[in-house]
Structure formats: C-alpha cells, structure tokens
C-alpha cells in the first residue's frame, strides 16, 4: 500500500557555548544537526527500515541539504550530502533558503515512480530566482530514498497567484483521490488539489482565526482517531503563528474539524496551543505505517525560539527535533481533546524508583504523581545544585502545571528567556500526573496523560545535579528510567 511522507520547514542556527560552560556532547536522544546551518527545512521520512531527516547543509547559503538516518528516531547517523538547491547562489542575496515539500510515493500514485523508495520534492521558486513571481519552480524525483535527484518534466502552476510560498504541506487524500497542498499567506491557509502534482486548483481557504499576531507558516493537516469511537476520525490543522507570551514569540496553534477533500470545517473557532512552552515553534510530520499499511499520526517539532534563537548559549539547539508524539482525540462531554503521547521509551536505561535515583542523571523519562494541595505549590526540582534547579510543579492558586527555568543555569543571554510557562487544567483533579522527558538541555512535560505538553530549553551551568521534592510531598510517587 502506498504511503505519503511530508517535509515541513525548520530553521537551524548554530554557535559555540560561552566560555565557562562545561563542554559536553549535548542532548542524548534528540536529533540535532551535525554542523552549523542557517536553513529552514527538515523532513522526517521512513525509507525501508530507517527514518531519514533532511536538513540544511551549510550556514552560509542554505541552498543544499544533508541527510541523517535513525532506526528509532533517537540515535542518529550523520552520513551524506544530498540535493543542491541551485547551481550558484545569487551574490545579491546569499541568505536565501531552500524550501518546499517532500512526499513519499511508494505506491506510485503519481505515476512518476519506479521504486518503493521514491520521493518527490516540490521546490519553491524563490530560493533560486531573482524574481519571486512564480509560486513553485520544479518537481524533483529520487528513486533511492533521497540520495540522488533528477528533475521531472513539466511546469508547476496554481490557478491563483500566491507569490512567495514557504513550507507547504502535501499529502494524498484517499477518499477524494487527490493530492492536497496547504499553502500559507498572511493569516490564511489555502487548500489546493491536484491529480498530478503539477497543476494545482484552489479548493478553499481558511482564516483568519485564532492568533493573528504573526505571519502564518508551516501548516499541516492530519487525520486522527477518536478514542472509544470505532471508525470515527477528525482532522487536526496545525499552524505556526503567534504565542500568548507576546508578539515576539511564535507557537503552534491548532484547530479541530472535518475535511472532505476540499474544505476544512472547524468544530469551533477556538484555537488551542499544541505545546504550552515557548520553545516548540513548528510541527514536523513523522510517518510510520502500521501492520495494515496505514500511517500512524505521529509528529515531532522544531525546538527553538525566533526571539532569542540567535543568542542561545548553544545555537545547535535552535532547530533540534522534539521527542516524537503519537496523536489522538478523546471526547469529554461536548469537548474534543487532543491527546499527545510519547512515541517510545528510552533504550539502555537504569530504573528510577526514588527521587534520589535522579542524582547525576542527564537523560531520563520520569513519571510522577502528586496529590493536589489546596494551599501550596508543590512538585519536583531537577538538576539541582546550590545555585541551580528546574522547577516543575502544580500551583493551586491558578490550578496550573508549570515549568519554571528562572534558576536553571545560563539564563541571562536574553531578557525573555528566564521565567515560567504554564498550562491551566480544565478541572480540579485529585492528583497531578506528569511524564517528564529530560535530555540535558530540553525538558518536555506531558501533563495529565497527554492532554497538554510544555517544552522548555535549559542551559545548566553544572551538569551533575540531584532531584528533590519541594512543597508538601506526602503521597508523592515517582518511577522511570534514566542514564548518566
């Protein structure tokens, strides 16, 4: 059975750590690019038994890609260069970035492929052309999973002029028998359909809605199952847009609705955040087929921040991939809730049964349960030393779970980095259930079995810390796995 795989854009910016910070390898189970780049494009694509991630190859032009491979989406081999965006970078604009979308077509729905490892790359025109009038430039093909590429014949056209388009989303919609493309302009998402990936007709548009502080970018549309309701599915539309923390921040907002192959109809005009941290700024579709050949709804995401990404103590981390998440919906009364669950567990790890077991641990999956307190904040401190800790807790005053990195180590490189992010719970529970993924420089907190996630970058000065409960801790419990 054929399957499609999508490329969504991601920026990568690198630099050295400041003097005085311990020199380490960095995060242990997240992808980070091998070399400094100034790019905006990443794809996670299943080819045979491994996943390939494509990312910009250099920090000057951003006009080519490298590819790295992984069997488990946690450990990566950095292996080869692929795809040159242009033969020559225009001297008048050396910072142009390669953009477009990659789709896998193992079933040859397009009629262009001769191999189950076939990938198709619809390249945006603007990276190579002085004139930005066209929307797309070329459709390229690889029969070997992305190692070599050739141009296909025929021009790419849309029936309305969009101008410069960056980071479209493309997938094959089985019910309508059509390729679907989402392209963002201003605060609108335009839906196009095509039978051949070359001639695109406008189907509908969505927006403005929700947060409109920034230019909308990186749209994605995914079909998800609804728990406990056999054969019922709904669609999730994600968009990189503004963030409630302020106009300088970006985040991923989402809408839930139905899609008939032409029109996305939201259940409500309400927009929600995919991640309540300030450091998850775009979705990256990850495709994995089940035994029946159907694709599981799995995403990763770009970690970073447009406001302070250039000033991070380790700029490699502005562009690392979030831990993959499996998505689904559940019904609670008349409300549909998005559930995000970690994709897999960590390999080769030691058991954690007490909070003291976290001493010296830099990579861990930690599950904690804390009874709700009516009067005091309570929770856990991670990587704690005399002058440093990451605080993850529950605040009864606002009925919220929060991550506070005010004292997490290096925080003074930008005035907006320090502080906390929170998720306000829908109800008042008896216990707070949290699953925490700690990977040295990134904390991802899955709240109440996945009804929300908070992702926060941290830059500890001292990597050998311990963990402690804070606030009343009678009845607290902890389990998990980790390694030093």
Instruction: Read off the tokens for 130.
Output: 């002085």
Residue 458 structural domain: 350-483
Last residue of a domain, one of 342, 358, 391: 342
Compute the distance between CA of residue 295 and CA of residue 231 in angstroms, rounded to an integer.
15
Burial of 375 (0-12, 13-18, 19+ CB in 10 A): exposed
Instruction: Read off the tokens for 297.
Output: 């709804």
Q: Is residue 28 assigned to a domain?
A: yes
Do residue 137 and residue 262 come from a single domain?
Answer: yes
Cα angle: 79, vertex 84, 85; to 5 degrees:
135
Q: Cβ of 206: how many Cβ atoms within 10 Å?
A: 23
Q: Is residue 2 assigned to a domain?
A: no
Domains: count for the chain: 2
Last residue of a domain, one of 326, 342, 358: 342
* CA–centroid distance for 357 within its chain: 30
Task: Point out the residues of the chain with pLDDT beneath 70.
Answer: 1-25, 35-41, 58-63, 79, 81, 84-98, 125-134, 164, 289, 291-294
Compute the distance between CA of residue 250 and CA of residue 74 in angstroms, rounded to an integer.
26
For residue 460, what pLDDT is reported?
A: 96
Do residue 75 and residue 222 come from a single domain?
Answer: yes
For residue 13, what pLDDT is reported?
A: 26
Instruction: Read off the tokens for 150.
Output: 């050739």
Residues 6 or more apart whose Cβ sits within 8 Å of residue 186: 208, 215, 216
For residue 342, what pLDDT is reported?
A: 95
Last residue of a domain, one of 286, 315, 342: 342
Do residue 226 and residue 362 come from a single domain?
Answer: no
For residue 234, CA distances in Å to 132, 199, 260 come to: 36, 28, 11
Do residue 226 and residue 354 come from a single domain?
Answer: no
Compute the distance between CA of residue 384 and CA of residue 398 in angstroms, rounded to an integer.
25
Per-residue pLDDT of 399-436, as tens digits, reads 999 999 999 999 999 999 999 999 999 999 999 999 99
Do residue 333 and residue 282 come from a single domain?
Answer: yes
For residue 18, what pLDDT is reported?
A: 36
Do residue 204 and residue 315 come from a single domain?
Answer: yes
Compute the distance between CA of residue 9 and CA of residue 43 in angstroms, rounded to an integer.
8
Q: Is residue 235 assigned to a domain?
A: yes
Compute the distance between CA of residue 347 and CA of residue 298 in angstroms, rounded to an integer.
20
User: Considering only CA atoms, which of 321, 328, 276 is closest in space to residue 300?
Assistant: 321
pTM exceeding 0.75 = yes
User: Considering only CA atoms, which of 78, 75, 69, 29 is closest in space to residue 46?
Assistant: 69
Do residue 309 and residue 214 come from a single domain?
Answer: yes
**Biggest CA pair distance of the chain:** 69
Q: What is the CATH number of the domain that holds 194?
A: 2.115.10.20
Per-residue pLDDT of 356-369, as tens digits, reads 999 999 999 999 99
Q: What is the CATH number of the domain that holds 412?
A: 2.60.120.560
| DSSP 8-state assignment for residue 317 | G
Do residue 326 and residue 464 come from a single domain?
Answer: no
Compute the distance between CA of residue 93 and CA of residue 192 in angstroms, rounded to an integer.
30
For residue 137, what pLDDT is reported?
A: 76
Whether 236 and 224 have beta carbons less than 8 Å apart is answered as yes
């Amino acid at each position: 059975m054929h399957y499609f795989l999508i490329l969504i854009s991601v920026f990568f910016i690198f630099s050295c750590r400041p003097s005085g910070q311990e020199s380490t390898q960095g995060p242990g189970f997240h992808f980070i690019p091998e070399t400094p780049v100034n790019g905006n494009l990443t794809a996670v694509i299943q080819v045979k038994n491994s996943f390939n991630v494509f990312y910009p190859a250099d920090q000057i032009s951003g006009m080519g890609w490298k590819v790295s491979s992984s069997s488990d989406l946690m450990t990566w081999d950095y292996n080869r260069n692929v795809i040159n965006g242009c033969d020559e970078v225009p001297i008048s604009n050396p910072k142009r970035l390669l953009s477009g979308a990659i789709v896998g077509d193992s079933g040859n729905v397009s009629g262009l492929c001769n191999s189950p490892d076939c990938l198709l790359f619809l390249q945006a025109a603007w990276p190579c052309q002085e004139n930005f009038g066209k929307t797309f430039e070329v459709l390229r093909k690889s029969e070997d999973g992305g190692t070599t590429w050739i141009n296909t014949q025929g021009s790419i056209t849309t029936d309305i002029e969009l101008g410069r388009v960056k980071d479209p989303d493309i997938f094959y919609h089985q019910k309508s028998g059509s390729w679907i493309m989402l392209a963002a302009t201003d605060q609108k998402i335009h839906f196009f359909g095509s039978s051949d990936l070359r001639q695109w007709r406008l189907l509908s548009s969505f927006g403005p809605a929700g947060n409109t502080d920034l230019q909308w970018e990186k749209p994605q549309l995914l079909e998800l199952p609804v728990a406990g309701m056999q054969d019922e599915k709904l669609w999730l539309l994600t968009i990189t847009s503004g963030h409630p923390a302020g106009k300088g921040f970006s985040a991923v907002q989402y809408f839930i609705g139905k899609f008939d192959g032409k029109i996305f109809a939201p259940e409500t005009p309400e927009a929600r955040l995919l991640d309540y941290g300030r450091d998850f700024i775009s979705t990256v579709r990850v495709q994995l087929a089940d035994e029946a050949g159907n694709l599981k709804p799995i995403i990763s995401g770009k970690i970073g921040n447009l406001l302070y990404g250039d000033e991070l103590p380790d700029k490699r981390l502005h562009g690392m991939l979030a831990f993959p998440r499996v998505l689904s919906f559940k019904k609670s009364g008349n409300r549909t809730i998005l559930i995000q669950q970690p994709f897999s567990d960590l390999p080769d790890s030691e058991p954690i049964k007490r909070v003291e077991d976290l001493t010296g641990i830099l990579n861990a999956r930690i599950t904690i349960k804390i009874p709700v307190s009516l009067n005091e904040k309570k929770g856990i401190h991670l990587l704690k030393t005399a002058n440093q800790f990451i605080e993850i807790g529950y605040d009864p005053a606002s009925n919220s779970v929060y991550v506070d990195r005010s004292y997490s180590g290096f925080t003074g490189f930008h005035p907006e980095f320090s502080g906390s992010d929170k998720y306000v719970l829908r109800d008042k529970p008896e216990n707070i259930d949290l699953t925490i993924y700690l990977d040295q420089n990134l904390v991802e907190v899955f709240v109440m079995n996945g009804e929300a996630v908070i992702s926060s970058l941290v830059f500890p000065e001292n990597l050998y810390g311990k963990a402690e409960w804070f606030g009343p801790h009678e009845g607290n419990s902890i389990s998990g796995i980790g390694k030093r």
